[in-house]
Structure 1
């Protein structure tokens, strides 16, 4: 059984002339780059050095970044490596991060949102991946774009998220805790490897609305539904 409810929102900056309220002082930044893309190493090092040496910020990165063999051989990265801060999967980053900067495509931003299962700091995404509906900024002007955000000249868009609670085998093991996830795009319930159609009962606020027979069911946020519409050619 899966239950979906609304949850805390994610805020992303947009490439428009609209202004937002000046944010609180940004001192701690999480930089996330697309995994396994060697073309992002140079932009990543350039950004991290600028944040540390020019903006005097504390920069958090994933542990995998510190283990990247290509980065280890980069002289510019070697200059700032000791100043970077890492974290573990079990760490709660909610109160530690003021701003998230993503280098990649939409998948990188979705991953960044997933790291924060409670409230999410503002996110600015630079389009360095294959799809960039959620990452509107070009990296060649990253200093200007980030300064605009820091000075309150960025357009902030709130994006709602869904909380999904998955309950399995409760009858056999009532003490087994349910799985809980917060997502930005959508929740998909499908038949998996089964060759048969799924029979799904849909309830809203405890009241059964309908029963669905088919391959599965998609419960989507406005962000996810927009992505489906664009993928379908809308």
Structure 2
């Protein structure tokens, strides 16, 4: 018995017959039909009866049965090659609208869901470095250890020798707590993140941001107690920590905020050895005749030309979609609005390795630092040049960060349920450079062009500050590791309460009624 398949790769299609419908058989037949596919194995998807595309998993035991039922029903199965963004062939409008409706219903249901956390046995406590809070950390630890025998507590290593924490006295009174009261360091958190089931923060918003930065991959659920200055992200009062922790540890349902983070990768331009060698040779040639002004000026021009040429070549290899677009980035430099052409996925050897990569919860800030002059930046979205920014800097913020630095420079407020990115210039030279909100699925790149008069400085959630030289770039995409925070009531109530109570949003003295002066 044979089965009929339609195979599609880019704009090429072929109808073939296969002896069986196993994933390996389909994969092999696809590669035989389209030998130009370089991936091994290629990413393949099949179309179900609803018009949705589903990726073929080689270890899916039910795949052969499901695809056989489809072929028996329709007489043919459609298989397409794809990438991380989906299939290459356009889908029908009706299928797109059906998928949109499903996504909206799912998202609405997700935002209203009451979530039950899995069993909690390991709790990490992050305390703001304030001696006044160490005693409260001890109080919380003692309550959890005494009330929940199956729980292990991890507190900051710096508290072990603090007199206000009194670790030795706690262990002397309760020897059985020796193994249940452990200490953590920043190096341990990300490494053992999957072993931590809950994080308790004791401080302000900065403590929550610090906690999120400790986990550069998966972030455990965070319950934040308000013991800091503002407390926009810290919804819980420490006075009620006992019922709060009891409800969480007993598995009571609760609302959560899934807060989008940004994946930020820094690409540093490095001068190649051949470039440095050429400069050294030119310097030696001119140094032999120091009175030759024309030769010295020629040297300067040659050095500048080679420097810009090499920066352009390096930056051209960067791409805002992990290497799937942008063939010419001359627009990032001296030639104005050059045409940006789209090309297929380049060879792997063309990729550049980032020097640093961070997960950001609030914002990425690029500013002029100590430079007195104005900063020049090039902004790309999905590989397309958007604008040249002349300003004191640029803030790329999440919905969570929209109430922070972005708000202070005129950015809009964004509900944390909204996976959006807000781009806010800092003191722009153009009065029309207003803050802009774009979908969180977009891929951004900020580039310091080779023609820039000054360098730039970047910081990520106020940390990891570093200089960006000419030719350096930052790639910004939505992270696949969001930060999950537990709500006091629900997502909207907590957020609007924070706006009115913490930020005093739209707070003013009300008008007196007419005739009140009589």
User: How big is each residue's C-alpha offset from its partner over 1:87-139, in whole Å with a ceiling of 9 and x where there is no partner?
Assistant: 34333132120000011111111111111111111100010111111111111
Counterpart contact for 2:134–2:159, Cα < 8 Å: no
CA distance in 1, matches of 2:388, 2:161: 49
- More deviation in 104-113 or 221-230? 221-230
Matched pairs, number: 216
Q: Give the strand-richer structure, 1 or 2.
A: 1
Matches for 1:41-190 after TM superposition, within 5 Å = 41-56=134-149, 57-72=151-166, 75-76=169-170, 79=173, 82=178, 83-91=180-188, 92-150=191-249, 151-172=251-272, 177-190=354-367
Alignment partner of 2:401: what SS? helix
Residues 218 and 75 of structure 1: CA distance in aligned 2, closer, same or farther (over 3 Å): same
User: How big is each residue's C-alpha offset from its partner over 1:126-161, in whole Å with a ceiling of 9 and x where there is no partner?
Assistant: 101111111111111111111222323322111100
Residues 19 and 179 of structure 1: CA distance in aligned 2, closer, same or farther (over 3 Å): same
What displacement does 1:192 show?
1.1
Q: Give the helix-richer structure, 1 or 2.
A: 2
The structure number with the bigger radius of gyration is: 2
Counterpart contact for 1:93–1:116, Cα < 8 Å: no
- Structure 1, unaligned stretches of length 5 or more? 1-17
TM-score in terms of structure 1 length: 0.82
The residue that corresponds to 2:371 in the other structure is: 194
User: Which one scores higher on RCO, CA 8 angstroms, separation ≥ 6?
Assistant: 1
The residue that corresponds to 2:116 in the other structure is: 22
CA distance in 2, matches of 1:191, 1:77: 52
Alignment partner of 1:42: what SS? helix
What displacement does 1:201 show?
0.5
- Structure 2, unaligned stretches of length 5 or more? 1-111, 274-313, 315-351, 408-412, 414-498, 507-518
Alignment partner of 1:195: what SS? coil
Counterpart contact for 2:135–2:165, Cα < 8 Å: no
When the two chains are superposed, the root-mean-square deviation of aligned CA atoms in Å is 2.6
What displacement does 1:177 show?
4.8
CA distance in 2, matches of 1:213, 1:223: 26
